[in-house]
Structure 1
Amino acid sequence: MRIARIEIDGGTRVGVVDGERVQPLAVGTTVEEVLAATPAERADLVGKAAEGGPRPLSEVRLLAPVRPGTLRDYITFEEHLEGSLKLLGRTAPPQEWYEQPVFYFSNTNAVIGPDEPVAVPPGCERLDFELELAAVVGKPGKDLTPEQAADHIAGYTLFNDWSARDLMAPVIPVGLGPVKGKDFANTLGPWVVTSDELAPHRRDDRLALEMHAEVNGVPLPGGGDTSANMAWSFEEIVAYASRGAELRTGDVLAAGTCGAGCLLEHWAHLGDEAPPPLRPGDVVTLVVEHIGSVSNRVVAGVEPVAIPKARVGQVRRPRPWSSATRG
């Protein structure tokens, strides 16, 4: 089943997509209750909540399929990590990366859907995209095993983790994350494809879906990647996320950028900016096998508001460890 949020007849509804048509569900039906249902319950719910006949997809506007309470973005593709670290002068991933699936929390207020414009963030000159696959939580849970986590994944969607590379670089050494380099836009869409529909496309314990990105209709050089190359499975990253923390319906967990799934890796390996950073007018399209595609156009942004540098040299209070308190 393909579960979407749609704008139709002046309101927002849940819809079930079948080919080029979408079946709107009754007003008041939420995407969360559809996601949280078992496959059998979901089919029954959709059957009872269907309202009117199917509509052509061209007559509705697709929205981000979920409005997640939390959005975790992992880095599970070793090839992408190697390319990212190369620009920092490192030849190999740190050993710590291999010990556990690391992630950062992204900005849920910046979630957008298919065909929505992405404004160049203030002060950015090196705008990039990131091709990712993401799991969407159906049933809430905490302290799950990977085996249990499988029953808590409702389905999967595409995720574009837009990145302002030049805004990230100065703050990464502080150790608190990419800050404004990742704060401005996160695309989810075009819909959530339920786990049962994708079950035939698994290789061992991984989804094996071909992925590629296009800029202005042209595939990124070097080809794409497969989700089978994830260092951890979605079940494993969901279990890790639930360690000591409750996952709730609609939460999103992205696998991180696949190999060759962004401009940054090309810059790192080729030593130049070909392909060039994104500019207003560019259209980025992410494509994942058996799920679909999602596109956004880059538009001009605004100039940054000036913020002063840190105030330093303030009077400090005596501390047990300060030389002023010692005899």
Structure 2
Amino acid sequence: MRFATYEHRDQRRVAVVEEDGTLLPVPGARSLTELIGSGDGLDALLDVGTASLDVPPGPHVSEVRLLPPLQPPTVRDFVTFEEHVEGVRRSVDGAGGVPEAWYDAPTFYFTNPYAVIGAHDDVPVPPGSEVLDFELEVAAVIGREGRDLTPEQARDRVIGYTVFNDWSARDLQSREMQVRLGPCKGKDTAATLGPYLVTADELEPYRDSDGFLRLALTAQVNGEVVGKDLLSNMSWTFEEMVAYASRGTVVRPGDVLGSGTCGNGGCLAELWGVRGAQSPPPLKPGDTVTLTVEGIGTVSNTVVPGKDPVPLPTARRRTRERP
């Protein structure tokens, strides 16, 4: 099933999405986050969706504003595509190859759940940035709590998948990561989730013999294709990512885990690293980025002017006087 969260006539609803785009409102549902948060897993969510098949149909998806399918409590963004790491490292750090430590485990960072936006919402340029980029990813959503999971146990913790665009201010990111703490304001303004949450069972036919989902990924800027890849080029499965995320802690219903950016043009920075020049150029107001994932859907966001940064002083160099 495909679930959408939408706004129509000043009301927010959760609905099952029919093949023709008709929305079937889920009776009594206030949010998909709440439905998933019950922790009863995929079967329970499918039961809820089935109940909506007997209610009068709602509007067509073209008549509503699609909101993010859910408001996640946490967003972990992994980096599981070797080709992406190699290209972006050359672009951002000027170094070649892939750091040896990358091969040890599926590394991730926590990004801002408050920055999540819908499939067609505008994206403001982050304050102070002049080098805006997109990142084409797929995100898995947790449906049942787990701790110290094996990959086999993690399989039924994933309730569904959605398209994820991790918008990145490359100039801010490059500067702040010199502090060696990780992305900060370079990744803090927008993260697209949508258009729908597609339940995990819907994508099982795409699973290959190694356990990866073989989904075609396409990125376009202003209608021009700039990137194509397969999700199965990930170096770790989602189950392995969930198991690693749960090591020594818990994953809980509604948590989002991004695949990391795909290769072969999954973002502009990778292309800049490969080509040795900013071609295509950084995104600017008026540009529209359209990302499509086979079996899940398409998100399309337009860049708009952002706000100027509020001035702050640089660090004060202290005497290090002691009492």
Alpha-carbon distance in 2 for matches of 1:212, 1:117? 20
Alpha-carbon distance in 1 for matches of 2:99, 2:250? 29
Q: Compared with structure 1, are the counterparts of its residues 76 and 53 closer, same or farther at alpha carbon in structure 2 (3 Å cutoff)?
A: same
Name the structure 1 match of 2:158.
153
Q: Does 1:258 align with 2:262?
A: yes
Q: CA deviation at 1:40?
A: 4.1
Correspondence list, 1:177-256, <5 A: 177-204=182-209, 205-220=211-226, 223-256=227-260
Q: CA deviation at 1:269?
A: 1.2
Q: Compared with structure 1, are the counterparts of its residues 225 and 310 closer, same or farther at alpha carbon in structure 2 (3 Å cutoff)?
A: same
Q: Do 1:132 and 1:161's aligned partners in 2 also have CA atoms closer than 8 Å?
A: yes
Name the structure 1 match of 2:2.
2
Alpha-carbon distance in 1 for matches of 2:23, 2:40? 20
Residues 157-166 or 167-176, more deviating:
167-176
Alpha-carbon distance in 2 for matches of 1:42, 1:107? 26
Name the structure 2 match of 1:63.
67
Q: Does 1:116 align with 2:117?
A: no
Name the structure 2 match of 1:324.
none
Q: Compared with structure 1, are the counterparts of its residues 40 and 28 closer, same or farther at alpha carbon in structure 2 (3 Å cutoff)?
A: closer
Alpha-carbon distance in 1 for matches of 2:245, 2:41? 22
Q: CA deviation at 1:8?
A: 2.7
Q: Do 1:13 and 1:26's aligned partners in 2 also have CA atoms closer than 8 Å?
A: no
Residues 226-235 or 86-95, more deviating:
86-95
* Structure 1 runs (4+) greater than 6 angstroms displaced: none
Structure label with greater radius of gyration: 1
Q: CA deviation at 1:38?
A: 4.6
**TM norm structure 1:** 0.92
Q: Do 2:42 and 2:143's aligned partners in 1 also have CA atoms closer than 8 Å?
A: no
Match of 2:195, SS? Answer: strand
Q: Do 2:31 and 2:70's aligned partners in 1 also have CA atoms closer than 8 Å?
A: no
Q: CA deviation at 1:27?
A: 3.3
Q: Which amino acid aligns with 1:212?
A: T
**TM norm structure 2:** 0.94
Q: Which amino acid aligns with 1:185?
A: A
Match of 1:122, SS? Answer: coil
Alpha-carbon distance in 1 for matches of 2:232, 2:14? 30
Q: Which amino acid aligns with 1:313?
A: R
Q: Which amino acid aligns with 1:14?
A: V
Q: Which amino acid aligns with 1:82?
A: E
Q: CA deviation at 1:219?
A: 0.8
Alpha-carbon distance in 2 for matches of 1:317, 1:62? 56
Name the structure 2 match of 1:31.
32
Alpha-carbon distance in 1 for matches of 2:40, 2:74? 20
Alpha-carbon distance in 2 for matches of 1:43, 1:133? 21
Alpha-carbon distance in 2 for matches of 1:125, 1:279? 8
Q: Do 1:62 and 1:114's aligned partners in 2 also have CA atoms closer than 8 Å?
A: yes
Q: Do 1:114 and 1:188's aligned partners in 2 also have CA atoms closer than 8 Å?
A: yes
Q: Does 1:44 align with 2:50?
A: no
Q: Do 2:80 and 2:259's aligned partners in 1 also have CA atoms closer than 8 Å?
A: yes
Residues 307-316 or 176-185, more deviating:
307-316
Match of 2:147, SS? Answer: coil
Q: Do 1:282 and 1:298's aligned partners in 2 also have CA atoms closer than 8 Å?
A: yes
Q: Does 1:86 align with 2:90?
A: yes
Match of 1:170, SS? Answer: helix
Correspondence list, 1:128-147, <5 A: 128-147=133-152
Alpha-carbon distance in 2 for matches of 1:175, 1:77? 21
Alpha-carbon distance in 1 for matches of 2:184, 2:45? 39
Q: CA deviation at 1:31?
A: 1.3
Alpha-carbon distance in 2 for matches of 1:79, 1:131? 13
Q: Do 2:5 and 2:31's aligned partners in 1 also have CA atoms closer than 8 Å?
A: no
Q: Do 2:22 and 2:57's aligned partners in 1 also have CA atoms closer than 8 Å?
A: no
Q: Do 1:137 and 1:249's aligned partners in 2 also have CA atoms closer than 8 Å?
A: yes
Q: Give structure 1 stretches of 5+ with no counterpart.
A: 319-327
Task: Give the fraction of aligned pairs with identical amino acids, expressed as a percent.
Answer: 51
Match of 1:171, SS? Answer: helix
Q: Do 1:209 and 1:290's aligned partners in 2 also have CA atoms closer than 8 Å?
A: yes
Q: CA deviation at 1:301?
A: 1.0
